[in-house]
Amino acid sequence: MKKGLLQRLDEGVVIGDGGFVFALEKRGYVKAGPWTPEATVQYPDAVRGLHREFLRAGADVMQAFTFYASDDKLSNRGNKSSAKYTCRGINDAACRLAREVAEEGDGLVAGGLSQTPTYLSGMSKADTQKEFQKQVDVFVENKVDFLIAEYFEHVEEMVWAIEVCRKSGLPVVASMCIGPDGDLHGITAGECAVQMAKAGAHVVGINCHFDPFITLEGLRKMKAALDAAGLKVHLIAQPLAFHTPDAQKQGFIDLPEFPFGLEPRICTRWDMHRYAREAYDLGVRYIGGCCGFEAYHIRAVAEELAKERGKLPAGSEKHEQWAGGLKMHTKPWVRARASRQYWENLCPSSGRPFSAAMSKPDAWGVTAGDSSLKQKTTATTEEELTSLVKPGKVANGK
C-alpha cells in the first residue's frame, strides 16, 4: 500500500511540486490575467508533461492543476471557461492527469482550492463555501490522496475552505499567501496559523507572494504561535522562486515587474539548496514551491535533502551535485567553478547596467470589502481600465 501524506510527514520530508500557472503561461498554455487552468482540457499534454518534469525532479506530490478553478473565477471578468469547459470538466481533467503521472512513480495526488471572487466581492459564507464544495465533490470522486487549500490572503476565507475540506474525510493542507506581517485584514501570521489548525487543518503554512527566505520568516512566527498554543500540526512552505526583499504586505503582485518583468529576480538552484536546508532545520516537512519554481529548483531541494530522504531524484542522473559536471568542461576557468564553495559564495549580476536593485511597490492598500475588488462576469471596459491608471505613471513608480 502506498503511504499517505500524514504518514510520510510523520516519518520524514515530503517534497512538493513547483509552479504551474507561470510555467505554462511562458510556454503558451495559460493566459496571464485570469490565470485559470482550462489547459487541463485544452492542452492536456502540456500539463501532463510539466507534472512529469516535477516527478523526475523529485516531487512526491502531483498537485492537480486546479488553481483558480472555482466556478466563479472561471466566469469572472469576461472569462468564458466556465461556460465552455465547465468547472467540473476542468477539475476532473486536472485530477486524472495528476493521477496518471503520480502512478508513474510513488507520487500522491492533491486536489487544490484557492481564494474566490465570491469572497473578494463581499458575499456570504454560504455563497463562498458553495464554490469550494463544487471542486471538493470532484476531488472526492477522483479519489485524490489529500486536499490543499492554498493561496488565501484572508484567514477568514481560509477557515471557510478548511471547513468544507474537512467534511471530505481526507487530510487537509492549508497554505496562505501571506508574509511575516500576516493577512490582509490585519490578522498576524501566528494567529492565522492557530486559526487554521483549530479549524482542522493537518498541515499549515505559507505559499506564493514572497521569496523562500521571507516565507520562512513568516513560518517562524507561525511555528512560535502554534507551539505557544500547544497545537501539533505539520508545516508547509511553497514560496516563490523570485527574490522579493522590497515587497510589502501584498507580496510580489504589488511590484511593478509583476507579472512580465520578474525574470531578473529568479532564485538560483543554489538559493534553493539554502532554502531547503533552512526549511528543514526549522521543522518544515512539506517543502515545495509555487510561482517561478521550475523542475531544476525542485531538483535542488531534493538533492539538498537526499540524505534525509535516502535517495536522489531521477533528474540527478544528468546533474552532478555542486557543479561536478563542470569538471568535464573544455575551458579551464569553467572547470575551476566545479565546487560547492564557488557557487555558495557567488553573488550573481543582473547584466543590466541601469537596473535598480529594488523597486517601489504600488501599495494601493485595498483588500476584501473594498468596492474596487468587487468582481463581475462581464469584461473590464476601457473606461474602467482608464480609471485605474494614475496620470503620468509608468514602471517603478515614475
How far apart (Å, rounded) are the C-alpha atoms in residues 210 and 208? 6
Residue 49 CA from chain centroid, whole number:
18
Q: Which residues contact 91 (CB under 8 A, 6 or more apart)?
A: 40, 64, 66, 69, 111, 135, 138, 139
Enumerate residues 6+ apart whose C-beta is below 8 A from 4: 108, 145, 146, 171
φ/ψ (deg, to 5) at 152:
-120, 130
**Any binding-site annotation on 165?**
no
Which stretches does DSSP call E strand in the chain?
14-15, 61-63, 108-113, 146-152, 172-176, 203-207, 234-238, 286-287
Q: In what order do the strands lie in the sheet with 234-238?
A: 14-15, 286-287, 234-238, 203-207, 172-176, 146-152, 108-113, 61-63
Return all residues near 191 (Cβ < 8 A) that are at least 6 apart: 155, 182, 225
> Which secondary structure element, helix H or strand E, spans residue 276, and what is its range?
helix 269-282
Q: Do the Cβ atoms of 110 and 65 come closer than 8 Å?
A: no
208 is in an annotated binding site: yes
C-beta neighbour count of 381 within 10 angstroms: 10
Give Dmax (Cα) for the chain: 66
Q: For 250, what's the count of Cα atoms within 13 Å in the CB-facing half-sphere?
A: 14
291 is in an annotated binding site: yes
Q: Let me know how long the chain is.
A: 398
Annotated binding site: 208, 290-291
Annotated binding site for Zn(2+): 208, 290-291
